Each structure stands twice: as structure tokens, then as C-alpha cells.
Amino acid sequence: MAAASAEGVSPSRAVAIAVSLGLVAHQIFRRYETYNVAVHAALLFGPPTLVTAFALPSEWSLPYAALVLYSTYLATLAISVVLYRLSPLHPLARYPGPLGCRISKLYMAAICVPGYQHKYIKSLHERYGDVVRIGPNELSIRDASLINPLMGPSGVPKGPHFIGRMLSATGLPLVGIQDTDVHLRRRKNWQRGMGPAAIKEYEHFIARRARQLLSRLEEQKGELNIGTWINYLTYDFMSDMAFGGGSELLEAGHDEGNVWALLDEGMFISTFFGHVPWLGVYIGKIPAATGNLIILLNRCVECTLARVKKGSEKKDLFHYLNQEDIPDAQPPPTQQLVDDGVLAIIAGADTTSSAMTTLVYCLLTHPDVYERLQAEIDKFYPPGEDPMSTKHHRQMSYLNAVLNEVMRVYPPVPGGSQRQVPPNGPGVLAGNLYLPPGTMFWCHIYSTQHDPRNFTDPSAFWPERWLLAAGDPSLPPTDPAARGFDKETLVHNEAGFLPFSHGPMNCVGKTLAMQEMRMVVCALLQRFRIRAGERFDREKFDREYRDYFTAPRPEVPVLLEVRE
């Protein structure tokens, strides 16, 4: 039947039809963004199948025709895509960037595997300038003056990054929701769960776990990796705060259930797929193809469903996310709660652990900072004073300066939050920057916070910069730590400081994270003198500070001495 219907079709004409269909398919892919596997399969294999069925040259066998026509169609599609992305006709052709980045996002996916994409992107900015093309339709931006126009109240929606990280185009956590209205609506429950009244309730959870940490650390002998114990603390606290309990890593003294192994490997795998979301969706449909990432996501589901089934015993985060605080309110859909649970586990434990572990490293490599911070903590929390009390935090300018400087030099989320100009809407104009419809971009945190136009000596860990910028009288210019600067001569642009992102879609847990870090640091330094262990390696920490969306903690071997 096929041969009869195609009588008279020459091989050259059949090939020409395949080429034409390949060019048409490119235009469809270019104009209509979808992560539907069935649609992709239809566009990739449907046209050459039709050509083979209805335009089969009589002199070709069916297998030979299929080989030639499929190859011609797919090669035409690939060549058309590559030439267009490299051509001056591409909407982002004006922006410089490496050849591999302009051709395919697979290039950046490969770059991210060792964990140094933050340094790679920073090097691109140093080479090409403030706007760099890091993907066929993606930019990295380093200009601090563009952060508010692009991410502020009238900013651009989230990008598709989390589709790849979650291996699905549906069921995304709050930070991955691309529809701004839906994001802000979903955020309301989080805002109640992270509001002042709720955080006041969570202080008891932090205090209990911090005391448990101190007790367990006193029992340890010899050198230990402080980051491991901070991991246990943050995960146990997160479980208390979000799910009303369920984790006792501090009590066990080891990674019971491989919690942190799952988190670290899951973040590593998901970072790769975040660069190629379409591939993440494909892989997500293959059982066991992504190893510990699927196990991690399933663990998040189990925690959430167990908490919802148990109900509210305490005013934990899910008390608000499940709308148990609103009389007669209908609970949200189960899938929404599961999505929120994923975010609570990953964001609630990983980022604060990263910051606190890094803080210990910075204190050990900067003894003058350690002594000054120790003196401030001893002033407000002398022996006998409860370090879990938050009443002095606002007065502790140096503690806040140290925390800010840790997150500036070593941001817990080095890349930031991906955004995308809606493909079916108008372009975005911010200053002299025009972003065509469909453009994805990052206001790259690591590059911006290490830009000398924003911060004097940007790679140096120097907390005093925050005191000078604020005009803090505790650090006059004559203080040696001021390095000869005053408020007028210091370069300090806080518009370029965004460890918690920026705007109405920023990190909803910022206040809680700062509270947890202040309480734990005060408790730790009141109780212990921390010294570098024999295996402590300053250069190794810098080498192993990596970017897998969040920043894994390199080892910080220490010796602890209980202070008299």
C-alpha cells in the first residue's frame, strides 16, 4: 500500500521532504516550549515515519529507506538548531559566551559535574563582562543595578530549572513554580509558617537541639569533623520544625538512614538535570535510573504523608502549610503538601548547615575575627547566661557581620534563582539590557558578591566591612581592623548581596535561618574553645567548596575544649 501510494517518488525527492520536515520541526521546537515526552517523541520520530510510509522510493528497501530518511531528518533538525543558535539571527546573538554554551545546555551540564560551575561562571564574567551567554537561551548577569528590576516586585517569573531537579514538569516545590500568581498564592501558607509568631514557637525546637549538640560534643574524644555534627543538628531541627519530629541523628551519633548521603548525592544528580530539564523529565520516567535522587524524593514524600496522617501535635511548619491554623479551612491537595515537604527538607537543613560549618572554618583561619566574636559573645552571654535567649541578637553587630561575611564569601546557594521571561509575552527591558521572550537568566550570586565594584577586596573574609558600612562606632577608622577605610572610602554595595535571593519570591525562611545560626553559634562559642585539628587544611576547604545548587560542606576537622 505504501509503495503503491508513493509510486514515482524519487530518492532525491524523499530526502528533500525529510529535510523540509526537519526544518519545520525546528521552528515548532523553537516556538513552543514543552516538557511532554509524547510531544517530543511525535516531533522527533513522527515526520520521518510518515515519509517512510508514504514517500518510499520504489528502488529502496524499507530498512534502507528508514535509515536514510530518519538520519536525514534528525541531522537536518540538529544542524538547523546549531546553526541558528550560532547565527546573528538568534535573539541572544549580541551577548558573548563560549561556543559550547551557545550550542547546547549539555555543555554547562558537563561543566557542573565536578562542582565548580560557580567559579567557571565567575571567570566568564571576568572575561566577557556583566552579561554572559551560558546557554542557547540563557544568560548569567553580574550587574547589581539590574537585580531589583529583574527580581524585585515587578520582576521576572521563575525558570524551568526545578523541572529538571525534580524530574517532573508537575508537582514543583514553591521555589520552582513558574506562574507568579500561583507562587505568591502558595507562599501565603509559608509566610504564616515563617512569620514572627511561628518562629517564636520554633525557638524552643532550636534551643533543645542546640543543647543536645553541646552535650553530644562534650562526649566526643579527640578530633572530629564539626560539619558532620552540625549536619545532624540542622536535620533534627528541620524534622522537629517542619514535621513535628522524626529524626534523631544527634542521639544516634551517625548518619542513621544515610540521610546526608542521600541529600548530597541527590543534589549532585539534580544539578546536572537542572541544566537540561527535558532530559530530567525523560530520566524521571525510568525506574531506578537516577539512584539516590529518587530515593531522596521518596523519603521527602514519606515524611510529609506521615506528618499529614499524624495531624498537628505541635505548631510546626505543617500546622500552617496544612492550614490547621485556620478554623474550618480545607487542607490543600496532598501533592501540594508533598511538594512543600521536599522544599522543607532540602532548604531547611542543607543551607544553614553549610553556612555554620563555613563559619567555623573562617574563624579558624582568621584568629583575629575569632577573638573579636568570642569577646562579643562573652559580653552578652557570660557564664550562667542562657545562650539560647535571643534578647541580645539585635545588639550583636559583630556576630551579624560575621554571618553576613560568611554568606558573602561562601554563599550557601552560589548560583541563585533561575528566572525566565515568559515565552508568550513581551520582552523585558531593564536599564540597557533587553531580554527577549523565553530568555532564561541568573543574577549570579557568587559572581556578584565577588565583584570589586560591589565590595572592597571581594575575595577576602573581612567582617569589619559591615561595621564600617553601617557607621558602627565600635569600629572607628583608627582600629587596625578597619584597614584604613572609613564609610566614605569603602566600596560596599549591599544591592550586590543576595544570599537569600531578592524580591517577593526570595527565600521565605530567611528570618528563621538567621535565628537558628545566631542561637547555635552563641551556644557553641560560649561552651567550647575550637581549635584546628591535625587534618585541618585551609587550601582543601577552598578547593572543595562546590556548587550543586546548594554548597556541600568540606570537612572541617577540629579539637574542642570545654571553656572554664
d(CA 442, CA 498): 12
C-alpha cell read off for 434: 533587553
Q: Specify the pairing of strand 440-443 against strand 428-430.
A: unpaired
C-alpha cell read off for 430: 531593564
Q: Which amino acid is at 139?
A: L
C-alpha cell read off for 275: 541544566
For the purposes of burial, counting CB atoms within 10 Å of the CB of 79, is it exposed (0-12), middle (13-18) or buried (19 or more)? middle
Of 101, 110, 162, the closest CA to residue 136 belongs to 101
Q: What is the CA radius of gyration of the chain?
A: 27
Within 10 angstroms of residue 200's Cβ, the number of other Cβ atoms is 12
Helix (H, G, I), strand (E, B) or coil at 328: coil
- Count how many residues are written for the chain: 564
For the purposes of burial, counting CB atoms within 10 Å of the CB of 476, is it exposed (0-12), middle (13-18) or buried (19 or more)? exposed
Is there a binding annotation on residue 362? no
Is the distance from CB of 277 to CB of 161 less than 8 angstroms?
A: yes
Of 466, 492, 348, 454, the closest CA to residue 405 belongs to 466
C-alpha cell read off for 187: 507562599
Q: Which residues are annotated as a binding site for heme?
A: 507
Q: Which residues are annotated as a binding site?
A: 507
